[in-house]
Amino acid sequence: MLLTKFDPFREFTNMQKMFEVFNVPVESSLGTFTPKVNTREGEFAYHVDVDLPGVKKDDIKIDVHDNILIIQGERNYKEETKKEDYYKVETSFGKFQRQFTLPENVDIENISASGNDGVLEVVIPKLEKAIEKKTIEVK
């Protein structure tokens, strides 16, 4: 007999995965979200662009641990509209974390990050190229 742990949100998770197959972005209502990320390699650095609309700089934390870049934070967004005949409140919240394994040729000491118009850009400079090939004489 196979025992499985009861998960009351399993059906919601399965439905969310089904919508993502059709490229319909679905955010979890359980207090988490996954920001979209673009990565690119330039001549002198790697670039990681993270879409974080509504996230304040103070709510973002960037660490490097065991050659893994960790970007994490929390989004708290609330918009209120009060009119004569209606009242509307829209909120969006949740924690996020994205991790990226860094290549060996990066300068960890000089990684920089900046935010502009809801996009966080992390610049990871490359180290100067080391000797790529060396022939070893057998004695």
Q: What is the CATH number of the domain that holds 48?
A: 2.60.40.790
Q: Does residue 27 contact residue 33 with C-beta atoms inside 8 Å? A: yes
The pLDDT value given to residue 92:
73
Q: Is residue 15 part of a domain?
A: no
C-alpha–C-alpha distance, residues 124 and 103, integer Å: 10
Q: Is residue 115 part of a domain?
A: yes
The pLDDT value given to residue 50:
94
Q: Is residue 47 part of a domain?
A: yes
Domains in the chain: how many in total? 1
Q: Is residue 137 part of a domain?
A: no
Q: Give the strand order in the sheet containing 60-65.
A: 60-65, 68-82, 87-101
Q: The domain containing residue 115 runs over which residues?
A: 33-125
Mean pLDDT by 10 residues, the chain (139 residues): 66 68 49 84 94 88 92 86 86 86 90 92 86 71
Query: Residue 41 contacts by C-beta under 8 Å, 6 or more apart in sequence?
Result: 47
Q: Give the strand order in the sheet containing 119-125.
A: 37-41, 45-51, 119-125, 112-116
**In terms of Cα–Cα distance, which of 66, 55, 39, 46 is closest to 107?**
46
C-alpha–C-alpha distance, residues 68 and 79, integer Å: 35
